[in-house]
Amino acid sequence: MVRRIGAVLMVVLTASACGRAALIEWEAADSSSGTGGSSSSSSSTSSSGTGGAGGTGGTGGSGWICPSLVLAGPPVGVESPPFGHEQRPQIVLTEEGNEAVTVLFEWMPVESPGPVPSEIRHVTLDPWSTWPPATAPASFVATTEGGHSFAAARSLGSQLAVLYAQGTPNQSTGVVFTEQVMPDVDGAGSQIEVDSQGRRARFAAYMPGTTHLVGYARPAPGGPGSGRELDVTWVHSPPSETLVEPPWVAGCVDGPVHADGIATPDGWLVARATSFGPCEPGVPAEPPLTLNVSWFAGSNLEALMTELPGSEPLSLVELAPRGDGAWLVWRRSPDNMVGALEGARLDGQGALVGEAVTLVGQGSEPRWLDIDGVGDGLAVVWIDTIVNGPPLVAVAAFGGAGDLQAEELVPTTGWAGGEPAIIASPDGRSLLVAWSEQLGDGIADEMMLARLDCVAY
């Protein structure tokens, strides 16, 4: 079930009153330039997928119109075991044509003698018909090492697929994959090992049928200083057996691996921050200065379609499907500062369409965010800390040309933080957002949900 949190507090904050930087400057970004490629072949199969926090895959009509966002009602909390930290949500459309979505998150006990594994928990609900929605208590999926260590996607029927790292924060035992998680049922079902050396799950994407694309980070061979690499592989699940293909290694970086992957009608797209080719023993890793987008017509049939070099390291990479291709969103972090949030439109095969643009100017948040495609539009959620008082959950809607249509601040009763998540309703009329919020005791965190409706409908 869900817990209603107080009454709705309507807050209207203007840029001048809050002293915030302008939310959007939709103009050519001077700091980025790139090349786009093309390919002579494509597939016309229908596809959808999730990456990062798990989007719907471009729902709603092709010309998304959302001139204003309005809260459907008070935010609600997910019922979970008490005395825990509930963080890093992901939202997945449970089944094509179904109104239900599943919210997954990490749960970790508040009091522990040291680093402990997290639990992946999930709850399925229909947030679109009525608000607040009716749900069951959050169910248990599996134990994971914690800290950005799982990624979720749709699977066959109403099942969910989850890629996660086993072990403890001090000793990982590899990355495993399951596609048999049932809504509101404990357990992960049958699992298969993807990589015994894998650590951080980065994304999972689904193409209707029997195939998932998954990406994860792993330490490079050669020990400390050799960097980390992104490994991408396909998991096929025909009726007889599950097949995990050899991984495609996508670059070497010094620091966290930032990457995302989605399915489009033309195949698979993978975006990643990189420095050079696969990590090599004895060769020091370098900061990720280049943003690459690759297109796959099938397993390991890769074509580099877009390359955006820069002089500052990348600290965020996100992809979301749109009606005619995909949205690519990224951020660079000069001198460990929060840089500008930039974006670009891609065609179905990952080639850059038009100019790279600035969505949010440097010096403002968001540090952590999530995106989802809505027809040809884009929905973005982040935790806004550039205000007087507790952080708020900020939501913005952009049209197909990148024009800001609406923005809204969701009031909170506690201290919001960490990574939020967002998903659009199948008809594009509403947005569901999830975030972690510190409770009144100042110790535990609760997973919160809110629905915002487009008043154009």
What is residue 401's three-state secondary structure? coil
Which of these, 245, 221, 246, lies nearest to 235 by C-alpha position? 245
First-to-final CA distance of the chain: 28
Contact 413, 6 (CB under 8 A): yes
Q: pLDDT class for 26, splitting at 50, 70, 90?
A: very low
Contact 202, 151 (CB under 8 A): yes
20 or 89: which leads in pLDDT: 89
Q: Which two tokens stand for residue 192?
A: 């298969």
Q: Which percentage of the chain shows pLDDT scores above 90?
A: 38
User: Does 61 have pLDDT greater than 90?
Assistant: no
> According to the model, what pLDDT value does residue 22 have?
29
- Across 358-385, b (16+ Cβ under 10 Å) vs e yields bbbebebbbbbbbbbbbbbbbbbbbbbb
Q: Give the sign of the dihedral formed by CA 449, CA 451, CA 452, CA 454.
A: positive
> According to the model, what pLDDT value does residue 223 have?
62
User: Does 441 have pLDDT greater than 90?
Assistant: no
Q: pLDDT tens digit string along 183-204?
A: 889 999 888 889 888 888 999 9
Q: Which two tokens stand for residue 286?
A: 């370098």
Which of these, 101, 82, 80, lies nearest to 92 by C-alpha position? 101
Cα 330 from Cα 318, distance rounded (Å):
6
Q: Which of 275-279, 320-324, 418-422, 430-434 has the highest mean pLDDT?
A: 430-434
Of 211-215, 382-386, 429-433, 441-445, the range with the lowest mean pLDDT is: 441-445
C-alpha to C-alpha distances, 190 to 78, 177, 207, nearest whole angstrom: 27, 9, 20
The helix (run of H) or strand (run of E) holding residue 321 is strand 314-322
Q: Which percentage of the chain shows pLDDT scores above 70?
A: 77
Q: What is the mean pLDDT of residues 275-286?
A: 79
Q: pLDDT tens digit string along 337-367?
A: 778 888 899 999 999 998 887 877 665 556 6
User: Does 293 have pLDDT greater than 60?
Assistant: yes
> According to the model, what pLDDT value does residue 450 have?
97
User: Does 271 have pLDDT greater than 90?
Assistant: yes
Q: Residue type at 113?
A: P
Helices marked H in 248-389 — which ranges? Answer: none
276: which DSSP letter? B
β-strands 200-207, 211-219: how paired? Answer: antiparallel
235 or 360: which leads in pLDDT: 235
> According to the model, what pLDDT value does residue 50 have?
41
Q: pLDDT class for 72, splitting at 50, 70, 90?
A: very high
Of 143-147, 245-249, 349-353, the range with the lowest mean pLDDT is: 143-147
What is residue 183's three-state secondary structure? coil
Cα 283 from Cα 59, distance rounded (Å):
44
Of 16-20, 165-169, 337-341, 417-421, the range with the lowest mean pLDDT is: 16-20
Cα 271 from Cα 126, distance rounded (Å):
31
173 or 326: which leads in pLDDT: 326
Q: pLDDT class for 148, splitting at 50, 70, 90?
A: low
> According to the model, what pLDDT value does residue 341 have?
82
Q: Residue type at 28?
A: A
| Domains along the sequence of the chain with CATH | 2-454 (2.130.10.10)
> According to the model, what pLDDT value does residue 106 have?
92
Contact 360, 372 (CB under 8 A): no
Q: pLDDT tens digit string along 28-51?
A: 333 333 444 433 333 333 333 344
> According to the model, what pLDDT value does residue 4 have?
34
Cα 131 from Cα 4, distance rounded (Å):
10
Indicate the burial class of 281 (C-beta count within 10 angstroms; 0-12, 13-18, 19 or more): exposed
> According to the model, what pLDDT value does residue 59 have?
53
Q: pLDDT class for 69, splitting at 50, 70, 90?
A: very high
